[in-house]
């Protein structure tokens, strides 16, 4: 379907909107409370009305009037509000808890725009909160509004993203049967590492390896980028010496003449010394005992398995985090003595090289780490576009 119209709430830097844009969609409005993320969103999606600030302060009727849309004309509402105030003892009072005002205001947009479809994304752990009652509450709220829903926990690696990242994706339709989630295009046998969601997580069987493309490795994702010393790099630079590109890297580099955000964090003297002992594929257990952080000297070898990890070229990255901190996980470059740059993290999230991030470096890492992987979002958008093409929308009572 051409020109599928979307609204992106809790948009962050725009990973979902970029994926939908690549699928031919057109975002007409976006909101996030983070001003740095909104600066990034505006730069990369200059035609979209982007409002920085609390969703609680938005006038939904005014937004719809300004967009010149009747109720029911919006194709897809996307977004994933956090739900922090759920109590298993009083799930019926879920919307009354001020901590859940974000979801309440997401529902305001649903009520005002009556979108044909919605896409709700969140962490897989949401399914286990309150023994599943939170999930039931969210589904119930959407079904009360006439939406038929389907939910799956998708793995980014199944859509050509060089990363093992799971996301809960709830899709809903008020114009027909519940939309189906996109089928995997790449083979990777991920193991769900969360509670409560294994039953709805996408799983592949060994035979699928013969039917699907191989998973994209870290080497294919970032090995063509210029080498850097620790703490070096510029916000805008050039690609330097031409290197052989993988199909993934060619796609990421398309239409890009400058290299943005290829900047590496500084490391403390003690972390540089720790890193000197860590080979590709190793983590904190390779660090000599006397160099370990105090808290980790008491840890078992099976604990904190990927802290201070250095990834292998032949592997996939773990979930990109909001901080490029070795104490959090595997963020060391496979062969260079540093952590990942913003650009490398963005490649791992499948952002194209034309996508530029703004704000302090710590804010840029947060924007990248919080994003839904672009190619996963594109796969969902392609699936929803096909659904809209095949499902005529009935008239909506006003």
Residue 350 CB coordination number (10 Å): 30
Whole-angstrom distance, CA of residue 81 vs CA of residue 287: 39
Does 83 qualify as catalytic in the annotation?
yes
Q: Which long-range contacts (CB under 8 A, 24 or more apart) does 190-194 make?
A: 190/155, 190/157, 190/158, 190/164, 190/166, 192/124, 192/153, 192/166, 193/166, 194/124, 194/125, 194/127, 194/128, 194/166
Question: Reduced to 3 states, what is the DSSP secondary structure of residue 33?
Answer: coil
Burial letters 320-334, b for 16+ CB under 10 A, else e: bbeebbbebbbbbbb
Please, what is the Cα angle at 18 between 12 and 19, to 5 degrees? 115
Listing DSSP states for 264-297 in one string gives: -----HHHHHHHTT--TT--GGGS-GGGS-GGGG
Whole-angstrom distance, CA of residue 21 vs CA of residue 26: 6
Taking every pair of Cα atoms in the chain, the longest distance, rounded to a whole number of angstroms, is 70
What is the sign of the dihedral through the CA atoms of 381, 382, 386 and 387?
A: negative
Catalytic residue among 27, 83, 324, 397: 83
Question: Reduced to 3 states, what is the DSSP secondary structure of residue 120?
Answer: strand
Instruction: Count the alpha carbons within 13 Å of 210 in the hemisphere toward its beta carbon.
Output: 2
Whole-angstrom distance, CA of residue 134 vs CA of residue 126: 7
Residue 43 CB coordination number (10 Å): 15
Q: Cα-flanking dihedrals φ and ψ of residue 295, to 5°?
A: -65, -25
**Which are the catalytic amino acids?**
83
């Amino acid at each position: 379907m051409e020109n599928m119209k979307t609204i992106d709430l809790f948009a962050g830097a725009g990973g979902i909107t970029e994926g939908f844009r690549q699928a031919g969609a057109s975002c007409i409005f976006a909101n996030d409370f983070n001003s740095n993320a909104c600066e990034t969103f505006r730069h990369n999606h200059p035609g979209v009305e982007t409002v920085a600030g609390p969703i609680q302060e938005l006038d939904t009727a005014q937004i719809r009037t300004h967009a010149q849309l009747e109720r029911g004309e919006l194709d897809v509402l996307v977004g994933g509000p956090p739900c922090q105030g759920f109590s298993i003892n009083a799930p019926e009072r879920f919307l009354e808890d001020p901590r859940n005002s974000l979801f309440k205001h997401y529902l305001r947009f649903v009520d005002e725009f009556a979108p044909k479809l919605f896409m709700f994304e969140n962490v897989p752990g949401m399914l286990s909160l309150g023994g599943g009652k939170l999930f039931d509450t969210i589904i119930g709220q959407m079904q009360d509004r006439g939406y038929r829903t389907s939910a799956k926990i998708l793995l980014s690696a199944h859509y050509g993203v060089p990363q093992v990242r799971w996301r809960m994706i709830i899709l809903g339709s008020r114009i027909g049967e519940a939309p189906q989630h996109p089928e995997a295009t790449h083979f990777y046998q991920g193991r769900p590492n969360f509670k409560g969601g294994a039953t709805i997580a996408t799983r592949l069987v060994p035979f699928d390896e013969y039917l699907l493309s191989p998973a994209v490795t870290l080497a294919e994702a970032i090995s063509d980028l210029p080498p850097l010393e620790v703490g070096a790099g510029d916000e805008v630079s050039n690609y330097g010496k031409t290197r052989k590109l993988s199909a993934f890297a060619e796609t990421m580099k398309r239409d890009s003449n400058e290299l943005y955000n290829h900047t590496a964090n500084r490391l403390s003297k003690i972390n540089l010394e720790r890193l000197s002992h860590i080979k590709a594929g190793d983590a904190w257990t390779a660090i000599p005992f006397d160099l370990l952080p105090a808290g980790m000297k008491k840890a078992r070898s099976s604990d904190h398995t990927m802290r201070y990890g250095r990834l292998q070229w032949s592997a996939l990255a773990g979930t990109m985090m909001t901080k490029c901190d070795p104490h959090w996980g595997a963020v060391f470059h496979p062969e260079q003595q540093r952590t990942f740059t913003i650009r490398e993290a963005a490649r791992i999230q499948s952002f194209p090289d034309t996508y530029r991030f703004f704000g302090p470096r710590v804010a840029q890492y947060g924007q990248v780490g919080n994003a839904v992987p672009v190619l996963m979002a594109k796969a969902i958008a392609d699936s929803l576009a096909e659904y809209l093409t095949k499902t005529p929308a009935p008239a909506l009572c006003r």
